[in-house]
Amino acid sequence: MGARGVLIAKVVLAAGQSSRFNGCKLTADIGFGKTMIEHAVNTLQALDDTPVYVVTGAWHKEVAQVLTGYKNIELIENKQWSQGLGNSIAIASQTVFKNKSFDGILFMLADQVELKVAHLSELVTGFTRNPSRWCANYGERLGVPAIFPAVDLSQLASLTSDRGAQQLLRSSSEVVNTISLSSASLDIDTQEQLSEFLSKTEYKNFNEKI
């Protein structure tokens, strides 16, 4: 991601067990013949031609198989995925910054199925203009997708809890820039939520055709 010389690493967090889903939600079809993990990768790839890093864990083999035909992606297997989201962010940050020099790192969750390229582009534009912390404002709280500047590496690399990066986004010591993004608050945790999402999507597409 090289607009005005600013380089941002792109990371999909997809290491969790998805225990409430009773199976691997990452490989579930979310419409248009695409799986959940494919949607996330496609969305990030549409931003630019830099690699997409995918942090896998509990369902590493299943995710790797689905993404076999994809180019320009790098899988980061987190064997300690059970330690929580913060651990995945830490491993991704350590791996990404060890390999290349980036100005920032963008995180999104694999199950944020309503995220679109335009949403991420808005964050990138903000970061390019003002390289600091940028994230989504769900309306009630702050969260991913989020971009952190390289100066946050040490803090990102030491995260351990299941709260992920929220403790950094809610820190009063640093300015956090936000964009209003209510659609980011939707993630799929259960079979019922997936069914509701598919029904809503089909209804919307039907209305758009008539």
The domains found in the chain, sorted by start residue, are 6-209 (3.90.550.10)
Instruction: Quote the Cα angle for 60-138-135, to 5°.
Output: 70
First-to-last C-alpha distance (Å) of the chain: 38
The more confidently predicted of residues 93 and 19 is 93
3-state secondary structure of 82: helix
Q: Can you read off the two tokens belonging to residue 199?
A: 């029904």
Torsions phi, psi of 10, nearest 5?
A: -115, 125
SS3 content of the chain, % helix, strand, coil (to 5): 45, 20, 35
pLDDT at site 3: 46
pLDDT tens for residues 113-152?
Answer: 989 999 999 999 999 999 999 999 988 889 999 999 999 9
Considering the chain, what is the average pLDDT of its residues? 88
Measured CA to CA in angstroms, residue 76 lies from 93, 95, 135, 176 at distances of 10, 8, 23, 27
CB of 145 within 8 A of CB of 72? Answer: no
Cβ neighbours, 10 Å, residue 108: 23
- Mention every residue, 6+ apart, whose C-beta is less than 8 A from residue 129: none
How do beta strands 73-77 and 104-109 pair? unpaired
pLDDT tens for residues 23-79?
Answer: 899 999 998 789 999 999 999 999 999 999 999 999 999 999 999 999 999 999 999
How far apart (Å, rounded) are the C-alpha atoms in residues 17 and 54?
15
CB of 140 within 8 A of CB of 127? Answer: no
Residue 171: its H or E element:
none
pLDDT band at 203, cuts 50/70/90? very low
Torsions phi, psi of 79, nearest 5?
A: -75, -15
